[in-house]
Amino acid sequence: MSNLVVITFEDESTAFEMRAELAKLQKEYLIEMEDAVVVTKNEEGKIKLHQAVNLTAAGAAGGSFWGMLIGLIFLNPLVGAAVGAAGGAISGALSDIGINDKMMKEMADSFKPGCSALFVLVKKATPDKVLERLNKFAGKGKVFKTSLAKDSEEALRKVIEKTEIE
């Protein structure tokens, strides 16, 4: 089962920095994320979701491959690739994998303008090593919401919010 972690920041850039650090940790097999989305709310109050993976582009690439393959079978690979790319792009744009977009936007409504948040869906992690590497973000954010066990949530708060939990 995956755990949702939402961390808010007072600026629009720190969430991107933390997502980049988590991506490095994933490459080192210290954390496995299903999804990591940065949500920003600009000074005018406009909310924007910054997905880690562009589903439309990924769908178009996959659709193009399968369309071309099917096109080769029926002796018209160019038409097959074009139809496959269009179909893949449409299915990619309509799919919502990972964290629910509507839920993220609803939570972001309560944020102050000029803020950002990092929504992470964690499959598994090596908590002590991950928290050690996230120490550079100490005092820069607030743990807004998690589905972690109480002791894990307290450890995360202690690092991110730089507080002592009693």
Task: Give the mean pLDDT per block of 10 residues along the chain (166 residues).
Answer: 90 93 93 91 91 52 53 55 52 56 88 92 91 92 90 90 63
| Rounded distance between C-alpha atoms, residue 140 and residue 113, angstroms | 17
Tokens of 62: 């996959």
| Rounded distance between C-alpha atoms, residue 45 and residue 135, angstroms | 30
Q: What pLDDT was estimated at residue 1?
A: 73
Q: What pLDDT was estimated at residue 6?
A: 93
Residues 112 and 37 both lie in one domain: yes
Q: How many structural domains are present in the chain?
A: 2
Q: What pLDDT was estimated at residue 95?
A: 44
Q: What pLDDT was estimated at residue 140?
A: 93
Q: What pLDDT was estimated at residue 146?
A: 87
Q: What pLDDT was estimated at residue 94?
A: 43
Are 39 and 48 contacting, i.e. CB atoms less than 8 angstroms apart?
yes
| Rounded distance between C-alpha atoms, residue 92 and residue 96, angstroms | 8
Q: Which amino acid is at 50?
A: H
Domain that holds residue 61: 55-94
Residues 110 and 36 both lie in one domain: yes
Residues 9 and 65 both lie in one domain: no
Is residue 126 situated within a structural domain?
Answer: yes
